[in-house]
Amino acid sequence: MLLSNRHRTDSTFEEIPIIDLSAVSSTDPVKRRELADLIRDACINVGFFYINNHGIPNDVITAAVEAGKRFFTLPDHVKMDLDIHKTDNFKGYTALLGENTDPNGRGDLHEGFDIGWDSSLIFDTSSALLSDDATAGAAMTGTNVWPPEDVLPGFKEPVLAYYRAAVDLGRSLFPLFALALDLEEDFFKEKITKPAAIMRLLHYPPQKASTVEKDGSVIGIGAHTDYECFTILWQDSVGALQVQNTAGKWIDAVPIPGTLVVNLGDQFARWTNDVFKSTLHRAINKSGVERYSIPLFFGTNYDVLLEPIPSCVSEDMPAKYDVITAGEYVKSRLEATYSHSAL
């Protein structure tokens, strides 16, 4: 049976489900199948879900968040030495209004620091990523940029510690996504040996509600879909994230202690012919205080072709998308995002 006809309930959702990942490493096929079915329902009907018992220690999260906060207090001219527009692989610092995710907007009211796959990094053999120069010259690859140690001591290590932990978590989810698509659990294994794992430290200044109501063209992040397979998001206690359901209603993705938010991106939507939802979302910080978040955008190796999965196409539901490599797709979306910035 075509996947799009299975497990679909009411796609006009009002709540985002919470999924317990305790069984993510279980060797019991029944437990893994049950977990995959929960993920499938969320992927088909919502495109977003919370995860608890995700395995990333609180101290690793806290250290990365605190490192990010210290970075954003640096003088603007120091941060701009790492300006993302100076690189050809979209790594480094993004100033306020430095990107524009919604073409109808006038810029996004946040600042960020981006890192990603870097072949110069050394990861131990138990980690998700290994040092490998095979990707040299491919789209989006290249070294990360970091603030000098004498300018911001002790910054790189906690940021990379969280990056490694989030990448490992992301890799553990792929077999479940494969099961959710009725594929062999190792379907994605060779496609994520050098994954596009782009992580951002984000800072949102407070924004007056009245300003948003009068002029909604500048908000924390404009309405958009993510570009990769899925995103793993840590968000602080300040609510700002909103998800749009099929009725056009914005649903608050309220912060829930101990959880991370997972949402699907365009790579999975293209791969599954829109059976899995890449859902429109935005962030508006009307809290009156600073907001911080850390999304990790997890995609495949950049050279992977995003070809439709056979169970997601039929005569009644033909393939909707041209085949493109994962790297070229992400690169094209990022180029559009930064070329439309207000800077």
Segment 131-142, tens digit of pLDDT? 444 344 455 567
Q: Is the pLDDT of residue 128 over 60?
A: no
Mean pLDDT of the chain: 86
Q: Please give the distance of CA 226 from its chain centroid, rounded to a whole number.
A: 6
Domain ranges of the chain: 16-339
Q: Is the pLDDT of residue 115 over 80?
A: yes
Q: What is the pLDDT of residue 133?
A: 42
Give the residue, 66 or 286, on which the prediction is more confident: 66
Q: Write the CA distances from 43 to 217, 229, 339, 341, integer angstroms.
A: 29, 11, 31, 31
Segment 144-196, tens digit of pLDDT? 999 999 999 999 999 999 999 999 999 999 999 999 999 999 999 999 988 88
% of the chain with per-residue pLDDT over 90: 66
Q: What is the pLDDT of residue 117?
A: 76
User: CB of 143 within 8 A of CB of 125?
Assistant: no
Give the residue, 205 or 3, on which the prediction is more confident: 205
Q: What is the pLDDT of residue 81?
A: 96
- Which CATH fold topology does 16-339 show? Jelly Rolls (2.60.120)
Segment 231-240, tens digit of pLDDT? 999 999 998 9
Please report how the helices 156-180 and 29-45 are oriented relative to each other, as an axis angle in degrees rounded to 10: 90
Instruction: State pTM to two decimals.
Output: 0.90
Q: What is the pLDDT of residue 213?
A: 47
The highest-confidence range among 86-95, 96-105, 198-207, by mean pLDDT, is 198-207
Structure tokens belonging to residue 221: 């992040």
The torsion angle over the Cα atoms of residues 130, 81, 152 and 169, rounded to 10 degrees, is -30
